A = this chain, B = another copy of it.
Amino acid sequence: MKSKITLKELAKLLNVSVSTVSKALHDSPEISPKTAERVKELAKLHNYRPNPVAVNLKKSKTGTIGVVIPNISNSFFARVLSGMEAEAQKHDQQVITYISNESLEREKQICDLLTSGMVDGVLIAVSEETQKKQAYDHLYALLDYDIPVVIYDRINLGLPADKIGVDDEKSFYEATQFFRTKGLHKVGLASAIHHVGIGQLRIKGYEQAMQDEENLHTVTSTKPVDLKSKIRNLIVSEKIEALLCTDFESAILATRVAYEENIKIPEDLKLIGYISREVAQYLTPSLSYIEQHPQELGIKAVEILNNRLDGKYKTGEFEEKIVSTTLVHLESTGF
């Protein structure tokens, strides 16, 4: 039970002033080596640690950054968080985590909390509901404050802030092209997130790559049952040769349909999904996927935030960075 010792108590024990102790511990050149040593020795003995709350008050900052995560069960975001935490550590910042659960209401509450000055900066991925309803008022309110905001992952919402995202459009363009160069032309796309920004970008990438094909084979729905039957149609009736899935749900449904219909992957159907490595490698067959490098995204998000905090960017001008994706081949593409 070493209850925390303060500067004042240390000063009294040493018979010097509080200022002297503080300076000594900060290696101020004002202090004589002899005194400095005495002070440090006693500080060590008592395991003195400056009270971070007091230091922060004095320095008018909080030493923390706030991270808003839409869905922590999604291992993409879990790994983004892991990157953020690692990078924040390097800057001696603590990461305060807020989970919006893809809920607009919750996101509003969180933004409200954030404006009270709990944190020096905010990293946020906007919730699905917010995007669907295009209700961005609370975000503009947050931006209106002096608090720096970096939007990560879900970036194409037109908000005036620094951004770091994934190259969604290009990744799907390339994945589609990949199939075509392999001689497959009946390439389909399934999506359960066609209503949110990143989904739209992925679909756009696919359409770009398919523009000289006669038919697109796109199916979308937010209802699993619906989407499943549409996918079944794509596979069984339209007999597509390859399928791109924009998200976890559509990828799983496609795998399921193939299993149920006895369609062999990758022999009869090739599959690429936009899912995380954690899951991809353990599906049967394992699913070729687009690696988004979430850890790196998290690291860069914190870098951008700190650049902003350090005044390295001009006010009114916003940084926008993109992390490139990698197509990782597992069993479902057979290459």
Contacts and interface: CB of A to CB of B under 8 A. Distances in A.
Interface of A, helix, strand, loop or mixed by DSSP: mixed
Nearest to A258: B284
State the copy count for this chain: 2
A81 interface: yes
A1 interface: yes
Interface string A214-258: 000000000000000000000000000000000000001001100
Contacts of A278: 73
**Which range contains the number of A residues in contact with the other chain?**
35 or more
Given A73-B82, A73-B278, A64 B96 contact: yes
Contacts of A4: 117, 145-146
Given A85-B97, A94-B96, A3 B49 contact: no
A52 B118 contact: yes
A325 interface: no
Contacts of A73: 75, 78-79, 82, 278
A34 interface: no
Contacts of A191: none
Given A72-B78, A82-B73, A97-B85, A256 B279 contact: no
Given A85-B98, A97-B81, A97-B97, A57 B53 contact: yes
A99 interface: yes
A292 interface: no
A335 interface: no
Contacts of A262: none
Nearest to A276: B73
